[in-house]
Structure 1
């Protein structure tokens, strides 16, 4: 595997800065222009071409964090996912997709691919045979997501790479839940790494963005369609994202630590039926996660015992916010059935193992004892209410 020449905190802080050559400021200046001179210049800049000064600089940071040659920044995670897939899949092609995917990605595939004449197969499981048996003569891409959303299932990256390389297939991964701090799929041979930069890269629940990292050749292919689809990001948001990413390693490591403590505590609690967290030794994919991840993320999911109403529990929380999205510095909780996977039918959710009582918990940077106390008081409140 590759090794970074400089440390991850140094990459987060310094790589991809725009130099302030006029005033020598300590941070990147913001270039808000949407119109640039085109005659007599080395680069003809235009926001939709992903090449404004702030766009270009931040792409370097994303690439460096994923040990890639190049990167692109998009207006959302789904813009990154959809544009990347359509760059490599054309009429008559086929893609193999992991059984469990983010609901938005799943919905994009089942609602849009038939319009483009693109065929697809979702695997039955996560084994080598599950993937190889889904491959057809016209397969061009394997798309995975690990850890998965929301069940935190782990797909073996080296296995996927070996399957794809033998057949000349392109591999893509949604690496959002892990973040570049915990996992670098390109080091394991994955071709294209995709992120909802809204999440751990942004980290403060105040921006929406997407990112892709890959070889320069693959990025060029993605750019050719990206400039036509128009999923670029405003330079002001680019600047905010670059600012946020400076602390990403610090934030994510704190969230990893908190989530592991909370997962162990929840796993031992009498009122918790099941906990989904790859950092637990009883997780079915723990050994695979240990092999390919440096940290187990700040994300986990759990199910309460059947007698406790999940919505009543969430409403009783005082510190942990019942909120959409994830990976902010503040802890949040939600029902996947009502949010991230609401676009799926009840039958589709059942196939993916997502029950109505499943709760996804994005652990923040608060003191873990305060989070534990909040969960305890919410459980006590709901149990008391049910006994009345």
Structure 2
């Protein structure tokens, strides 16, 4: 099974099919009877139900890793991954441009365990190296930064980590396995908020940690203790959604590119962020690393656009947090994903009330362009 589309459908499916069922049945039970009292039992918190095991195998195939583990949310995945590779007194290094929930984990929870961090402003191996301390244990990053869509020097980061014996953890949510498989670049652990592209229908919350077996066993033990297990029915929904991952994400890639190019020409737009655009500062890197430029677009509205009339005039996109679903969503990160981020960091990154993050869905590109153009016109007024 060489292609992602084939693996998304067939990898992890039970053979023979359970009672002939083409779709994976839901094993809605918390525990399982067993005959060997010395063997590890099947138990829902242990992530080893038939639904979990089939899903783990499929995800490992898609991420090109030895194994994968599902959790109850993306933050459960990030927390389980980091708490499995960090010890009391350790230090981690990450870029400034991170999801607000991840920054809150760094600022509010990890310090309780004596774990400190340094946020790097410059995306260059020298900057990462300069931020290292004697107790640095982990480099953490996102493959596509939230919300301004920068592409870090991922290969340079892996080189720095290998030269200093550090673990590498990457949040690949925005790219999805369709556009990037970070394990093939040398990252040790790859996390996803499966609530987004992997789920793809805005109807479940889930997370994924994938990686080499040696790393994943520690994550499995940590996740078991934290208890952030994915319910069997949510496993079923995620399993179902993965079968259409490739076709969904490729269409979202294409539509996002059309929308980004069209809106660069509008007088109500000061700047459009999308890795496909020649104006994107990391376009060459994106072309080298990614199989697709992603379905996220960020807009910086012109000062002449009135924000409320702009949002009120949108008819197709829904104003809601999250991303990666079949419907287009719009949000102001300053009020959602980055609401709790230090204002000085937001200011340094240029995340203001005029930044609008667009998660492009599966609507027609022409319909979305017409809708956004009309809303910008309404925001500009007469």
TM-score by length of 2: 0.97
1:233 is matched with 230
Partners of 1:152 and 1:21 lie apart in 2 by 41
Unaligned runs of at least 5 residues, structure 1: none
Partners of 1:311 and 1:69 lie apart in 2 by 48
State the shift of 1:39 in Å: 3.1
1:166 is matched with 163
State the shift of 1:381 in Å: 2.0
> 1:370 aligned to 2:367?
yes
Label 1:21 to 1:248 Cα distance change in 2 as closer, same or farther (>3 A): closer
The DSSP-based 3-state class of the residue aligned with 2:5 is helix
2:153 is matched with 156
Equivalent pairs, count: 381
State the shift of 1:40 in Å: 2.2
1:6 is matched with 2
2:253–2:292 Cα contact (<8 Å) kept? yes
Aligned counterpart for 2:21 among listed residues 13, 20, 25? 25
Alignment of 1:1-388 (within 5 A): 5-19=1-15, 21-40=17-36, 43-384=40-381, 387=382
State the shift of 1:20 in Å: 6.4
State the shift of 1:378 in Å: 1.2
Partners of 2:380 and 2:155 lie apart in 1 by 45
Deviations 1:82-101 (Å, cap 9, x if unpaired)? 11111111111110111210
2:78–2:191 Cα contact (<8 Å) kept? yes
Deviations 1:101-122 (Å, cap 9, x if unpaired)? 0010011111111100011111
Partners of 2:244 and 2:40 lie apart in 1 by 31
TM-score by length of 1: 0.96
State the shift of 1:124 in Å: 2.0
2:73–2:193 Cα contact (<8 Å) kept? yes
Partners of 2:367 and 2:122 lie apart in 1 by 38
Partners of 1:168 and 1:238 lie apart in 2 by 35
State the shift of 1:21 in Å: 4.5
CA RMSD between the two structures: 1.3
1:258–1:368 Cα contact (<8 Å) kept? yes
Over 6 Å off, 4+ runs: none
Partners of 1:84 and 1:91 lie apart in 2 by 15
Partners of 1:22 and 1:258 lie apart in 2 by 38
The DSSP-based 3-state class of the residue aligned with 2:54 is helix
